[in-house]
Structure 1
């Protein structure tokens, strides 16, 4: 490796430097005079391939580097000399900005991977631009946030979740447009027999149907299931036009969509064939089979097993397969929002299948009902085997006889359902917030009265109920009942500033787990000595903040990240706060998920207590940065609901 000796630094013609900086952000926003002044201080240097430019925690930055030609790699090495983080940077990229702004030595090792020319901008000149140019400060701070978060996720993946040798995962790297093969289509006027022959000839399970006149206009789709169910089973004439059995309109996804996002859509909608669109034109079809081939532990395999199960007891072992699926997603690079969404979908399908089979066992209910999911389940933020939080809401009975029948049916129904969920591995709620509790198995009118009382009388118990029940969503059954209750809550909470005041002040009682000197505040003694509860101390403040503002502004979303985005879109919080809060929340959730996954693999019960000593320097720094966002959230609540 060539040592870096700064003896080949040369002045550069101002016009050359100006031309270079005009082509990179954020220098392209500078006026001509500022660029010319900057160019006078700029130098150029040549570094042969293999030159170590910076050494992590050693090199003091005197200049900011810009790659004019060539490339470098950025990396860290552990105590065994193993490279754990890599980042390749090419022409136009910068090196050393974070260290200069923070006044620290280099935070990464930087080494040239080919002969490289760099412009060198003196440290003081760069800091002057940061101080005087608001666009500069915003650009680099945003860039640092994105790069450090990505680096932290990489480190979490590589250090904490060991990749299994037989895993070859692509859900987060391949876009569906890359999987599409030859477009197979047939005219809507073609006969069913002609369409079936074409499918057989090309050995495909579906055909797109185009307009009889305009071959570019896709009007429907048929699958081999349509041929079985709509033609053979129904005895339909094979000479009928194929448009009589096609499904329309065709559901589409963009060609740039990641396979993971398409997989979620398939699992959420139950549609197994999606047309792929590029620049407004259908280019082919992506199927569930195509995506299943990408993974060994595909979520879709488990999804199909759940949907096809005919016995409730058969669902028990399937729930225990979820950690394996999630492990693969974490190993591939899924962020917490992806992971919790997948956990929620799989849990929802287990619940849906189980309650469907239970209805078949007990018979149809006397009145329509909806199984409500509450708390973290209602927010789609479950991790590994979160405690049950559920309830039943049913239509108001027409008379006393129907009321007694409904009460008896749902009592038996809830008791069996809760037992089955326990057997699936979902623990009982210690606070008995479950449908088996008669308090939480009530008709719609009773639920409306509950919500009215909790909002009108905000004592500590009512506030506790609000943090659990107001995050509800429909899990199974008549979703219209849940929607009616949500509408009632939104209407009733308008103008209830006293309730929101108490909810906001209660939310701020949990302080950020950092001392005055920015050290972690951990448990002093007991079972979890020297550990911090990342759920209660780190994540809950974000959940509470999003809930208070969602209730205040009538946002119907229950997921914390979705609530934050809706608040940003409605201009109720600043875009920069939304970005910081979302990144901080998601990073902590990632820490929690990885921690629990490691406990499961060690065959211990998952918990939320993390030992800061087990974290890398980068992880500790990111966690501290995430915790500092909590005080900013509290500042917003304090302004909205000050103590008078």
Structure 2
């Protein structure tokens, strides 16, 4: 039976636009009868964040604007555009709004028809999966852009107040005021009339208005204070305060809230915001002469991460920054240990393992390190390196890096070997792999030199680079371990949470999220003989070698960045709340935007694991 004219026009329209253009004309004819046409007047909200959507819309005429959950325009849909697939593939409710910006006609497809086409029409689901992948890349960009700007542009003044205001009353003498300032180690003092801020006196006032003119210090402080000083709102931004202080040529700005003094911000405080970076931190570490002094500097690292999250740093950038600081701490501690023990009897290389080796370290990291010792070492030399490892490890604990639960540290004799022995260990892993041993050993395939003779590491790394690609059974066992590290997402796309214990009702974003991508990238990187340790670089190498589709590689890199960013943001929030950073997230702290895109990221990882498992036949390994 022939289609009537209107249905035939719709059929021809669909055949002219993706993804329907790749479908057989007969299939499209059958589809047309299952669609309905709906009219939306200009300004009509077709989809709303927080509301369920059970349809795919195809714009027949007119146009729509699509905004994300924070109101940012993410796309403009004109004739032929499809929207609504996000909820059909990823689950409700919608995190996007879609509004008709012109009078619009849309072809409307129900969820059952959409699911049927995804199962039966070649390329149909892939088309919408690619849209979802583009949304993942957009989500990564949005997470970073939403907090863009330097620290001085984003920081609230109340967040800069670290102590209660130091004050004296109006009846205090100049000498008394100076004594209070000296005892508190401050450069300004608030003078109070009861609960009211009456004035401020600074060290410059004492210098210019007292000492320079020979004023009697027994006189009242009110005689030299600045009365009714300029103040700022506690909720004001740091850059506003900086502009105010520069414009008025003042160096101290009292903060008030509801008439109550909260503290004082100085120009030095504001400038220090821009110094909360690894260059300054690493420079300070290099100057310290004791483990205790280094530990004091290392304690600033969580605040640096908190500041970076508030700026436009990517997770990759933050990982490199945390790693850079960690390297600086470890190098300085090694130098101090050598100064105490004397010069090493033979060359050695101190290597870091795991996330630090990959330049991807976050907060809440423990120690993972080892020693490669020159083959000329004698039995008598063992004690030197055992003591070196002990001194450095103990100092690392003091600096905030706890010992490794798996004892993967240079203090373990099995992680403190001569080069010849290391070469044999790696050869055994790659030529006669045992599944359980490979699972424990995988961290050693993420290795980077930190201090000492890097040529020792280079020899071992070159052996791995050339031998791994030909070690098929080793790679298969490594792939099997990677596939078993499943993302924390269930069959119905719900998060898999811990059911008991201290971490009940939380998900481990490190193990099955970040760790799952790390495991995948490690297999691919070793298989193509890449010298890279970094996850992003390993994925790029796999794509360049033709081992991984470029689209899959881009998806995994975006997923890794998004998951890692959510972890850094979670850790920064815990730092801000005065809690120890960790890797356990409660779904309650995630926005609907986060939940949606974490599900999509985990789905990308699971799909990549499935492909890896098929490629290596991991289900057949004995």
TM-score, normalization: structure 1? Answer: 0.63
Q: 1:619 and 1:156 mapped to 2: Cα distance?
A: 13
- Cα 1:602/1:89, change in 2 over 3 Å: same
2:609 is the counterpart of 1:633:
yes
Q: 1:100 and 1:162 mapped to 2: Cα distance?
A: 27
Q: Which residue of 1 aligns with 2:513?
A: 538
- Cα 1:357/1:101, change in 2 over 3 Å: closer
Aligned counterpart in structure 2 of residue 517 of structure 1, from 492, 498, 501: 492
2:437 is the counterpart of 1:462:
yes
2:550 is the counterpart of 1:575:
yes
* More displaced stretch, 470-479 vs 622-631: 622-631
2:370 is the counterpart of 1:391:
yes
Q: 2:56 and 2:610 mapped to 1: Cα distance?
A: 38
2:121 is the counterpart of 1:145:
no
Q: 2:272 and 2:529 mapped to 1: Cα distance?
A: 43
2:284 is the counterpart of 1:305:
yes
Q: Which residue of 1 aligns with 2:345?
A: 366
Q: Secondary structure at 2:460's aligned position in 1? A: helix
Checking the alignment, whether the CA contact within 8 Å between 2:42 and 2:104 is kept in structure 1 is: no
Checking the alignment, whether the CA contact within 8 Å between 2:68 and 2:96 is kept in structure 1 is: yes
- Cα 1:516/1:372, change in 2 over 3 Å: same
Q: Deviations over 1:106-145 (max 9, x none)?
A: 6423569xxx657756457xx9xx9999999877644543
Matched ranges for 1:481-520 at <5 A: 481-520=456-495
* More displaced stretch, 317-326 vs 510-519: 510-519
Q: Deviations over 1:544-565 (max 9, x none)?
A: 2222232232222122222111
Matched ranges for 1:231-380 at <5 A: 295=274, 297-380=276-359
Q: Deviations over 1:208-230 (max 9, x none)?
A: xxxxxxxxxxxxxxxxxxxxxxx
| Superposed displacement of residue 509, structure 1 | 2.8
Larger radius of gyration: 2
Checking the alignment, whether the CA contact within 8 Å between 2:136 and 2:559 is kept in structure 1 is: no
| Superposed displacement of residue 346, structure 1 | 1.8
Q: 1:86 and 1:366 mapped to 2: Cα distance?
A: 62
- Cα 1:294/1:427, change in 2 over 3 Å: closer
Checking the alignment, whether the CA contact within 8 Å between 1:454 and 1:465 is kept in structure 2 is: no
Checking the alignment, whether the CA contact within 8 Å between 1:557 and 1:563 is kept in structure 2 is: yes
- Cα 1:85/1:165, change in 2 over 3 Å: farther
Q: 2:545 and 2:148 mapped to 1: Cα distance?
A: 41
Q: Deviations over 1:376-417 (max 9, x none)?
A: 2222222103110101112211xxxx5245323222221111
Q: 2:86 and 2:584 mapped to 1: Cα distance?
A: 35
- Cα 1:363/1:119, change in 2 over 3 Å: farther
| Superposed displacement of residue 152, structure 1 | 6.4
Matched ranges for 1:22-421 at <5 A: 47=42, 54-56=47-49, 57=51, 64=58, 74-76=67-69, 84-87=70-73, 97-99=83-85, 102=88, 107-110=95-98, 122-123=107-108, 141-151=129-139, 154=142, 166-168=152-154, 295=274, 297-397=276-376, 403-404=378-379, 406-421=381-396
- Cα 1:314/1:363, change in 2 over 3 Å: same
Q: 1:436 and 1:141 mapped to 2: Cα distance?
A: 48
The two structures, once aligned, show a CA RMSD in angstroms of 4.5
Unmatched segments (≥5 aa) in structure 1: 1-13, 31-40, 77-83, 170-291
Q: Deviations over 1:424-465 (max 9, x none)?
A: 111111222111222222221121122123334423452134
2:531 is the counterpart of 1:551:
no
- Cα 1:370/1:329, change in 2 over 3 Å: same
Q: 2:151 and 2:460 mapped to 1: Cα distance?
A: 49
Greater relative contact order (CA < 8 Å, ≥ 6 in sequence): 2
- Cα 1:446/1:100, change in 2 over 3 Å: closer
Checking the alignment, whether the CA contact within 8 Å between 2:479 and 2:612 is kept in structure 1 is: no
Q: Secondary structure at 2:372's aligned position in 1? A: strand
Q: Which residue of 1 aligns with 2:504?
A: 529
Q: Which residue of 2 aligns with 1:280?
A: none
Q: 1:487 and 1:428 mapped to 2: Cα distance?
A: 29
- Cα 1:92/1:323, change in 2 over 3 Å: farther
Checking the alignment, whether the CA contact within 8 Å between 1:63 and 1:120 is kept in structure 2 is: no
Checking the alignment, whether the CA contact within 8 Å between 2:349 and 2:450 is kept in structure 1 is: yes
Aligned length: 479
Q: Secondary structure at 2:417's aligned position in 1? A: strand
Checking the alignment, whether the CA contact within 8 Å between 2:139 and 2:597 is kept in structure 1 is: no
Unmatched segments (≥5 aa) in structure 2: 1-8, 23-35, 156-270
- Cα 1:421/1:554, change in 2 over 3 Å: same
